[in-house]
Chains A and B, each alone.
Chain A
Amino acid sequence: MVEQNVSKPTGIATARPARGVTSIMEGSMAVARAVKACRPDVISAYPITPQTHIIEFLAQMVADGELDAEYIRVDSEFSGASVIGGASATGARAYTASSSQGLLLMTEVIYYLAGTRLPVVITGANRQVSAPISLQPEHHDSQSLRDSGLIQLYVESAQEAYDTHIQAFKIAEDHRVLLPVMVCMDGYILTHVFEPVTIFDQAAVDAFLPAFDPLHYLSPQRPMTFGPIADETNSLEFHFLIQQAIDNARGVISEVALDFQAAFGHYHGGLIDAYCTDDAEIVLVAMGSTVSTLREAVDQQRKAGQKVGLVKVRCFRPFPDEELRLVLQTARVVCVLDRALSLGSQGILAGEVKAALYDAEQHPLVLGLLAGYGGREVTLETVQQIVERARQAAESCGSQVGLDFIGLKPELLDLPRTTNGS
């Protein structure tokens, strides 16, 4: 008997959830519709594939008079992040979107946004970072920002992208948090694919997400100095407070997810979402669009009598150490599917999962697998292969544990080398 979505809270007393209209739309349109419903005051826009459709849809909404926002066509992603920072510091709700090199170009500003406690929302349409240049989905771009204080939520479907953007503003602007939030969605697989998406009434979104109520902002009525110099006497305390805020976000993210369920009837997990994990011997761990493939794979494995489960890491920052410990420590093997590799170390998610399990009472074997890397497709066959490896690893008690490049093509590695002629 397969238990469906064990982590989903049930029996929440609530009024009937808001009704929505469901239609087929591109993932980027779902994001644009969500952002519009959140009534941003200022949007900055700079094109980069595969994020561009989002800002194009928003531009059209502004041009058609459907969205009353200042839409700033910036000169770079660096300026794009800076514009929303300035707007947020002036008490405005602000949004932008980017990908890949664009997110890297924003990096300096993103540290600043978190350090100055500016609660903006950014969409990160995940794409590989050069070199080699590629447009395909990978998580290096967003995961490289993991130490910045930016909250990161990863979604698995266009519907979750829509729902999570509405949640993102509420999380960011909560006075217990006041940090930037990035909603990460795999490029193409989620940004360009057409799926059924339920769009909710503006009134329902307004009831869920009140107007931005900034704690501090720039105003001649009450002059304040933002961005002072810290030194050895106070810098530690600044960072203690940011860490406290991002820790507060753990509770706020879970709370907002439940509030969203009560208001709209949709739930995609809190910090994580566990599927068929209660009795699982092998648990797959992943983020983003891969998760929806893995759900089907788990169903297939269960039908074949295999005790396989799945954990979606929905929130990568703050990292759900405690939640993962609780759900993973009873498994025999944990397979972490990574779309990003910390070159010279291991898959980024795998490393973090291992660190989380260090404090667990029981220690399952953890396999780090690069799957979906550079956009290479993760199919049900890929998952079958991974489950097989997990079983072998369990039998050999982990003697073969190491980084696994799933689907590596040896024939591409054997190119004849030429000398430089010297």
Chain B
Amino acid sequence: MAARYEQALFTPGHRACPGCAASLAVRTILQASGPDVIIVNATGCVETFTTPYGYSPWGVPFIHPLFENAAAVASGVEAALKKKGLADKVKVIVIGGDGGTLDIGMGSLSGMFERGHDVLYICYDNEAYMNTGVQRSSATPVGASTMTSPAGQAAWGKEQPKKNLAAIALAHGIPYVATASIGFPKDLMRKVRKALEIHGPKYLDVHSPCPIGWGFDPARTIEVAKLAIQTGLIPLYETGYDLPLKSRRIGTPKPVEEYLRLQTRFRHLFENGGRQHIAAVQAVADENIRKYGLV
């Protein structure tokens, strides 16, 4: 086993939960990028399960700054590489969770996009603050119950739709914006490679199911990830300032109920009076299917 992992850029032995999609995402991203990268990682699950002092699974240079400044620190790393004449040899990748990206890190991320730094920003989107114990983020989908948007007698979970950061990223006029899923690792690898070939700021959102936070069997991570795509709830596409929208077709969409039923965060929708809320979630999928041309 040791020999097999000798050359690995992200080794086993870290402390991710069983069935963690974020750890699979990181391994897949590094498999695609190769060793000539510097990783900047916002505070969150990945940072927590990979870097207890004295241990590190990272076979590439890695820096964890704060929760909300990874994009700005990456800007500084890129500027330093440029000044040293290393910008063509070493690429900068940010890895951040949805809280660190869509919420608290939004300002510094927008600044990084606007200034045009040659950085690939990857958000592993597990749709809530998982590291602190499953609290609602702006990436949490409508209807999901979390510790701070709990379902109860007078509430049906999160009331607002998921924030569309990919659209916000695209509004900056950056050259490459894509969404991916850990359910489709080859597609993820292709998008990472493609992004790294393009100069300028790039944004890649990787949908990453969390067994603990979403409430499903850790053995079914990939199945849940695939269902999110197959229902149309998460559209897979790539685009950019000068690129046409290219979506991944999903064939005949599966009803959202198949996806929702597997997760305890949506259990309340199947109890008395929940049908209208399931219909609201189905409407999100239908809208995505129409808007992104998924069928």
Contact = CB atoms under 8 A, between A and B. Distances in A.
Given A72-B79, A220-B60, A231-B52, A86 B73 contact: yes
B76 A229 contact: no
B36 A220 contact: yes
B52 A92 contact: no
* Interface bracket on A: 35 or more
A220 B83 contact: no
A220 B76 contact: no
B115 interface: yes
Contacts of A69: 83
A82 B63 contact: no
Contacts of B37: 220
A87 B86 CA distance: 13
Interface string B15-58: 00000000000000000000111101000000110011110101
A224 interface: yes
A58 interface: no
B79 A42 contact: yes
B111 interface: yes
Interface in A59-104: 69-70, 72-76, 78-80, 82-92, 94
Interface in A222-265: 222-231, 234
B81 interface: yes
A112 interface: yes
A89 B107 contact: no
B292 interface: no
A44 interface: yes
Interface residues of B, number: 44
A92 B110 CA distance: 24
A42 B108 contact: no
Contacts, number: 161
Nearest to B117: A72
Interface string A16-47: 00000000000000000000000001101000
Given A78-B72, A79-B107, A228-B53, A85 B79 contact: no
Contact of A218 (B47, B77, B79): B77
A219 B61 contact: yes
A75 B84 contact: no
Contacts of B110: 75
Contacts of B77: 86-87, 89-90, 218
A225 B62 contact: yes
Given A74-B111, A225-B56, A91 B69 contact: no
A308 B10 CA distance: 66
A192 to B, nearest CB: 28
A108 interface: yes
A85 B79 CA distance: 11
A109 interface: yes
A220 B36 CA distance: 6
A228 B65 contact: no
Contact of B53 (A76, A91, A94, A231): A231
Interface string B134-156: 00000000000000000000000
A172 B176 CA distance: 39
B35 A220 contact: yes
B58 to A, nearest CB: 5
Q: Which of A72, A88, A109, A230 has the most CB of B within 10 A?
A: A72
Contact of A75 (B59, B65, B114): B114
Nearest to A120: B76
A231 to B, nearest CB: 7
Nearest to B108: A79
B265 interface: no
A218 B63 contact: yes
B26 to A, nearest CB: 13
A122 to B, nearest CB: 14
Given A231-B52, A231-B53, A225 B58 contact: yes
B80 interface: yes
A69 B61 CA distance: 24
B53 A234 contact: yes
Contacts of A80: 72
A229 B58 contact: no
Interface of B: 35-38, 40, 47-48, 51-54, 56, 58-66, 68-69, 71-84, 90, 107-108, 110-111, 114-115
A-B complex: 6 closest residue pairs judged by Cβ atoms:
A86-B76, A75-B111, A227-B64, A82-B72, A90-B80, A92-B80
19 contacts: A42-B80, A70-B83, A72-B75, A79-B71, A79-B72, A82-B72, A83-B75, A87-B77, A112-B65, A220-B35, A220-B36, A220-B37, A220-B60, A223-B60, A224-B62, A228-B64, A229-B51, A229-B53, A231-B53
Given A74-B115, A78-B68, A82-B66, 18 more contacts: A70-B80, A74-B72, A74-B111, A75-B108, A82-B75, A86-B72, A86-B76, A87-B77, A87-B79, A92-B83, A218-B63, A219-B61, A220-B37, A223-B62, A228-B51, A229-B47, A229-B52, A231-B52
